[in-house]
A and B are shown apart, each in its own frame.
Chain A
Amino acid sequence: MKHSMKLPLYITVATFVLAYAACVAQYPNMLSSRVIANLLTDNAFLGITAVGMTFVILSGGIDLSVGSVIAFTGVFLAVVLRDTSLHPLSAFALALLIATVFGAAMGATIHYLEMPPFIVTLAGMFLMRGLAYVLSTESVPIDHAFYGWLQSLYWQAPGGGRFRITGLLLLVTFGVAMVVLHRTRLGRNVYALGGSAQTAQLMGVPCARTTIAIYAISGGLAGLAGIVFSLYTSAGYSLATVGTELDAIAAVVIGGTLLSGGSGFVAGTFFGIMIMGLIQTYIVFDGSLSSWWTKIVIGGLLFTFIMLQKGLAWLTTARIPRANGSTARS
């Protein structure tokens, strides 16, 4: 039954491998180092956001504000670098601080005012996007030597693929998140909260601290994703990353984490991200879908992956005698 815990993860990995193999069978070019490097680079900011989202969803919450936080961070960086002489590194630190504090504030609101995360973070989403507009409605280019230097840091693989520093950051974030979630008390408390907040409280989990920490992590990682995004586009734009929260949620869910909380793995999220990236790459390679068919196909594939998971999970649990479900839960 140990494997039944990790089963969704294995299913996601298997799905990814199968899907990739199918794509390569049709377009051999998709095995090139370029495509692999692009999967990492292009999805770096989404992946980092999804890590934070995994924390939140594991705890039974949801964070709709991440897309706006990314946009805000980008605009903030661009405006600060344009209008002040601050070094980008200090600007990064400042941006991370703002995003983290913002997340923590949402966490505190959720905990102390007993408001549902969906609504608190929805309001947060409006607020951050609004603040980004207030900073600048125009797209502000970032033209700083440091940015150029960061962008020039990459390893060119045979075949032309460029493995960039942001891709590395993505992998590091996932690594750290895995350690935090599985090997620290905070991480286990996240799972505990997701199992049942009430029970966790009775078991002595510091709910206030944990909730605040979770949303602070999500906010902070969204801020980090904002930095990555600003490196990616060398600009800050208040209209950027609209709807990214839904992409991140979808990636987390495809990665096998239950939206009801308490069950899932951050490694699954990684493959969730890769699957979403693969879908897009495939659509570009195909190149024959109209705008509307693109949407329909993305929705259809989302549905397919969910059903695939359901089906596999059902196949594997049907053989294990059904738990009585009588474990007390609130």
Chain B
Amino acid sequence: MKVRYFAWLRQRTGCTGEEVDPPEGVRNVADLMAYLGGRHPRFAEACAASGVVRCAVNQEHVGPEHPLAPTDEVAFFPPVTGG
């Protein structure tokens, strides 16, 4: 599964993206956030603050309950500030 980080989440994790192979119990976005938090303590901190970490799966905004498949591209980022 391909994971990407943007803006200050990219700075906190120290990487723009990574290939991960999460354990079987990781079924949705919330599970993946918890799993990734174990690898990146500063990502876990951000996830603990509500409404700060947003997610897109295959380039569509999704909520924490969104189910995941091994071939998905999952992106985490703060609220957007475009335009």
- B is a partner of A: no
